[in-house]
Structure 1
Amino acid sequence: MDQERAAIDQPVLEAARVVAVEAGGAWLESEGQSGCANCREGRGCGVSVFQRLFRLPRHRLYLPTEEALSVGDHVVIALSQRAVLTASLWLYLAPLVGLLVGALVAEMLFAREGLTVLGAITGLAGALLFVRGRQQRQARSGAFFPVLHEITLRQADESPKKGVVTD
């Protein structure tokens, strides 16, 4: 049990590239693989095929940091595995529960197919609004932001310095 708990507390690491720098942080673009391991081997759900076919944009995320980063730097970011699992549960499970509860309540009250469907849609919409509000509160808390794990490659400054003679 302690090993399972320790595994959940391990951070998820991801390589990224700095694409923009702002005061107090930087915008990163993930260098991760397209899709899961099965997709890369041609046996999965096909997310990587759609990403290549439709040239879907890479994911961008904001990294709050005081570290002096430059556009083009390569970094490794860490995010709590517990945070990823918690966010996934809320994002997938809460709308499903809302849909089912809305449908069941409407069915018990009205026993008409059209109103049951409307109840399901209402339950789904309510759950999505609830999850959105919850995630906004969590974003303000900072618990779900990635942290800088390491800088793997600094972008070299290509411009010559003033007063320095180059051959």
Structure 2
Amino acid sequence: MNEAWGTVVALVGEQATIRIDETGCGRCRQPGGCGGSQAATLFCHTPRTFCVPNPDGRQVGERVQVVLAGGSLGRSALHAYVQPLLALLGGALAGSAIAGEAGAIGGSVAGLLLGWLLLRRAQMRWRQEHGLQPSIRS
């Protein structure tokens, strides 16, 4: 399970918007740590927020622990990085076999587009699966 601490910043109906307090592995600021939290601030200045179900009725300002189901982060990373790459390579190989270098270029673009469409489809499907959504630990 992946866990992070955050603060409830807004309530909208049955949902709570959580601002994650820290990023990184916990050793970022320690000597010999990776420094990932400092590197992340170079690319993203806005705090990370998530909208999660609020069954316990948490209030604004309350500190909560947000939990992501085990395996869901790895599964989504696999789909986000590997699936479009394989589609790109498959399209390039198929295009190359059909029309040489120009076919490889066209096939790689078509494969990348197909990989993106498959990823969007999977994302829409995962939004409906409650087991893959972040939740507030009681």
- Is this a same-fold pair by TM over 0.5? yes
Partner in structure 2 of residue 84 of structure 1: 73
1:16 maps to amino acid: G
* Count of residues in Structure 1 that have an aligned counterpart in Structure 2: 137
Sequence identity percentage: 26
The TM-score normalised by the length of structure 2 is 0.84
Give 1:29 shift.
1.2
1:26-54 Cα shifts (integer Å, max 9, x gaps)? 01111122x4568656875x754454346
Partner in structure 1 of residue 49 of structure 2: 60
Aligned-residue Cα RMSD (Å) equals: 2.3
Larger Rg: 1
Partner in structure 2 of residue 138 of structure 1: 126
Task: Find 2:13's aligned residue among 23, 27, 31.
Answer: 23
**Alpha-carbon distance change, 78 to 124 in structure 1, aligned in 2, over 3 angstroms:** same
Mapped partners of 1:124, 1:22: distance in 2 = 37
Secondary structure, aligned partner of 1:62: strand
Partner in structure 1 of residue 64 of structure 2: 75
Mapped partners of 1:38, 1:97: distance in 2 = 34
Mapped partners of 1:47, 1:98: distance in 2 = 30
Q: Tell me which moved more, 95-104 or 50-59.
A: 50-59
**Alpha-carbon distance change, 98 to 12 in structure 1, aligned in 2, over 3 angstroms:** same
Unaligned stretches of 5+ in structure 2?
none
Give 1:56 shift.
1.8
Find out whether 1:99 has 2:95 as its counterpart: no
Mapped partners of 1:95, 1:25: distance in 2 = 32
2:106 maps to amino acid: L
Deviation >2 Å, runs of 4+: 35-44, 46-55
